[in-house]
Amino acid sequence: MALVPRIGFDSVTMRFGGVAAVDDCSFDIPAGKITGLIGPNGAGKTTAFNVIAGLLAPTEGRVFLDGDDITALPDFRRQALGLSRTFQLAHEFSRMTVIENLMVSARNDIGENIFNAVFRPSSCLDQERQAFEKAQQTLAFLEIDQLAYELAGNLSGGQKKLLELGRALMQEPRIILLDEIGAGVNRTLLGKIADKIKQLNEERGYTFCLIEHDLDFVARLCHGVIVMAQGNVLMTGTVNEVRRDERVIEAYFGGGKYQDAS
């Protein structure tokens, strides 16, 4: 019997006015794996993520989580089910410290309820204490404890990407969608981000789907790759299979000679 995919993206179309950014597109993200989502600029990758995360309601089609139809669920309900994501452009609160940025991203089941805030303040304090501890653990895991009380706006581009990953981890997710977490990050930090993703996958069983243009980064991490072009899936396969495929080369380089990303 075929395994139920963690995410099923089923015949999804997302139209903006006359433009179909995603066009009758279907793919699966398998549970417990790291899957790459690649393709040229404008292929519809970020739009697909936004539909999966619940930021966009698709024009047509359905999204499944562990076999359950989640198309009608708002984004926060999907987060509560363990779906987390990072954004192509890091969106930290620049005037807040790193640890505060993590704490506001924590899963919060009690404190945001006005009744609890007024009548059960001690439960809110407990929750805040837990968020603080979790934020400290997350900083230690990402090896950026020394930045805890730095303003997020002062971080380097790469450090902001690590913070972005940290904020996703604060949601206690089972699946994380990473939108170009490696873009603009220097080689050393990129290696560190790759190690952390691998560790979360191997030791904690997190499922990842990552959009990335750097094929070496994809090759280092991904068990399988989905290639999108013009709103649809062009092919799926291993990194080496898709790297060599004529259709992929054509989609990326318009028939020009393929050059290795390294």
Select 99 or 227, whichever has its Cβ closest to Mg ion: 227
Question: At its nearest, how many Å lie between ligand ATP and the CB of residue 211?
Answer: 7
Instruction: Evaluate whether 64 touches 237 at the Cβ level (below 8 Å).
Output: no
Question: At its nearest, how many Å lie between ligand ATP and the CB of residue 39?
Answer: 6
Distance between CA atoms of 181 and 159, rounded to whole angstroms? 11
Burial string for 51-70 (b: 16+ CB within 10 Å, else e) reads bbbbebebeebbbbbeeeeb
Three-state DSSP class for residue 69: strand
Question: At its nearest, how many Å lie between Mg ion and the CB of residue 46?
Answer: 3
Rg value, the chain, Cα: 19
**Which residues are near Mg ion by CB under 5 A?**
46, 88
- Residue nearest to Mg ion according to CB distances in the complex: 46
Burial string for 190-206 (b: 16+ CB within 10 Å, else e) reads bebbbebbeebbeeeeb
Select 88 or 123, whichever has its Cβ closest to Mg ion: 88
Question: At its nearest, how many Å lie between Mg ion and the CB of residue 183?
Answer: 9
- Which of the listed partners (ligand ATP, Mg ion, none) does 232 bind, with a CB threshold of 5 to 8 Å by partner kind? none
> In 3D, which of 214, 243, 206, 216 has the Cα closest to residue 227?
243
- Which of the listed partners (Mg ion, ligand ATP, none) does 47 bind, with a CB threshold of 5 to 8 Å by partner kind? ligand ATP
- Which of the listed partners (ligand ATP, Mg ion, none) does 19 bind, with a CB threshold of 5 to 8 Å by partner kind? ligand ATP
**Which residues are near ligand ATP by CB under 6 A?**
16, 19, 21, 39, 41-47, 88
